[in-house]
Amino acid sequence: MNRRRIRHAAAALLAGLLMAPAACGVAPSRVIDAGPAPVISGTPTLVTIYLLQDGRLRPTRVAARSPHVNDALDALFAASGRTSNRLSTALTGLTLAQVQLVRYAPDAGSRNDPDNTLSLRVRLFVSGWKITRTAMAQITCTARLRPEIWAVEIAHATPDRNGPLKVHTCREFWDLAPKDGHLPP
């Protein structure tokens, strides 16, 4: 039995020696209030989106996460719930289901800008009741404000399938331009 006690005592001594370096030597103190916790706040980026005023497209500056086309389109769809200043939207009841950015492969009849090496096509899948012509104008012209977007394709997404992608330009909506302004190409 003595050997057993000696082994237990040796094990306890060894455990105590191993735990000693783990202590940091700083005595605990009471809780000290140092004010509010730090908060990271970024400056919101302002982007231009198209809302409606008297049935015409009106450029409007709103806050977005970034100037990226995805964030500008998110801001456009989010604005449907908080329009003011006599501005409205045709996007009420529509949801931006998916945004895809793909390299733009121009055909023989499209523009060729040697100064712009990055050119993208944005594909939008929108779900909801019906996409009106005015809603397509808001989406297309907002996306075309970004210089890297050369083509906008919109498809109506339903729970069981996606409709066909149709290419749109702002030119087809120039009749909706504000009386004192113009729309992108």
| The predicted structure's pLDDT at residue 86 | 83
- Distance between CA 2 and CA 38 in Å, rounded? 60
| The predicted structure's pLDDT at residue 108 | 47
- Distance between CA 56 and CA 175 in Å, rounded? 8
pLDDT band with cut points at 50, 70 and 90 for residue 143: very high
In the chain, pLDDT over 90 holds for what percent of residues? Answer: 38
pLDDT band with cut points at 50, 70 and 90 for residue 179: confident
- Distance between CA 9 and CA 178 in Å, rounded? 90
**Nearest 5 degrees, angle CA 111-CA 112-CA 113?**
115
- The DSSP-derived string for 78-127 is HGGGS--TT-B-S-TTEEEEEEEEEE----TTS---TT----EEEEEEEE
Task: Count other Cβ atoms within 10 Å, centred on residue 185.
Answer: 11
CA end-to-end span of the chain = 95
Q: Is the pLDDT of residue 33 over 90?
A: no
Could you give the C-alpha distances from 79 to 8, 28, 76, 88, in angstroms and in order? 72, 52, 5, 9
pLDDT tens-digit map of 86-136: 899 999 999 999 999 988 665 545 555 555 456 889 999 999 888 999 999
| The predicted structure's pLDDT at residue 106 | 56
Q: CB of 118 within 8 A of CB of 101?
A: no
Where helices occur in 119-181 by DSSP H, the ranges are 133-144
Q: What rounded mean pLDDT belongs to the chain?
A: 82
- Distance between CA 32 and CA 93 in Å, rounded? 51
Query: Mean pLDDT highest for which of 44-53, 107-116, 175-184?
Result: 44-53
pLDDT band with cut points at 50, 70 and 90 for residue 48: very high
Close Cβ partners of 91 (under 8 Å, ≥ 6 residues apart): 76, 77, 79, 80, 135, 138, 139
- Distance between CA 150 and CA 52 in Å, rounded? 23
pLDDT tens-digit map of 54-91: 899 999 999 998 899 999 999 999 987 666 678 999 99
